[in-house]
Chains A and B, each alone.
Chain A
């Protein structure tokens, strides 16, 4: 099992460009999450999907959109990138939302630089 995979690993964008970060998990988990990590800030939740067909905002959703494509895949889209979105983005999954949400499995991350 690959666990949680993310593509791309690195990306450089110019201000105003758009891109989609892809995430997939093969653990048959119900819940999936997108975080950003900035130096000294820990992990901050952008959006999450408690189950297939649902998505909800997290702590820092502005400037992002998400799509839960199916049970395996959860993508994050930046419509018009800004330098403030330079960060490391992590996707995670967990067995369930109401039970098992405390144990999250993380992908390797996408390092994004917006110029």
Chain B
């Protein structure tokens, strides 16, 4: 099976940088995805890492270390609208995604 660990809550102020970590255990591994979900809304895809290293998309970056079974999502220049839940999800081979329990990010003025 698969298991993922991520912090339940992270707080930060506007303009700051925040990192949300995700560690995983899985029998097979093809990559790590990140999703954002605002309260009451649907999850939306943010990024995917299949290889080690950093992927950058605007203010958001995602990192993967396959040897450490570890990844993180980096959010820069935080804005109030970034307050949401963030989920990491592993793709264990040619199968579905397994989601973590999510990290609630609270951005304050």
List residues of chain A with CB under 8 Å of any chain B CB.
33, 40-45, 48, 58-59, 90, 92, 97-98, 101-109
Q: Would A101 and B96 count as touching, CB distance under 8 A? A: yes
Number of interface residues of B (CB under 8 A): 23
13 inter-chain pairs at a CB distance below 8 angstroms, sorted by A residue, are A33-B96, A42-B100, A42-B102, A43-B87, A44-B99, A45-B96, A45-B98, A90-B43, A101-B94, A101-B96, A102-B33, A102-B48, A106-B42
The CA of A17 and the CA of B88, in the complex, are separated in Å by 35
Tell which of A41, A58, A102 has the most Cβ of chain B within 10 Å. Answer: A102
- Residue positions of B touching A, CB distance < 8 A: 8, 30-31, 33, 41-45, 48, 50, 87, 89, 91, 94-102
Interface pair B96/A48, CB less than 8 Å apart: yes
Cβ contacts under 8 Å, B31 to chain A: 102
Supposing A90-B43, A103-B45, A106-B42 touch, asked if A42 and B101 sit within 8 A by C-beta, the answer is: yes
**In the complex, are the beta carbons of B94 and A40 less than 8 A apart?**
no
CB-CB under 8 A from B30, the residues of chain A are 102
Do residues A108 and B42 form an inter-chain contact, with CB atoms below 8 A? yes
Are A90's CB and B48's CB within 8 A? no
Q: Is the CB of B102 within 8 A of A105?
A: no
A104 to B42, CA, bound (A): 11
**Contact yes or no, A58 B96, CB < 8 A:** yes
A110 to chain B, nearest CB (A): 11
Report Cα–Cα, A92/B41, bound state, in Å.
13
Inter-chain contacts of B42 with A (CB < 8 A): 90, 106-109
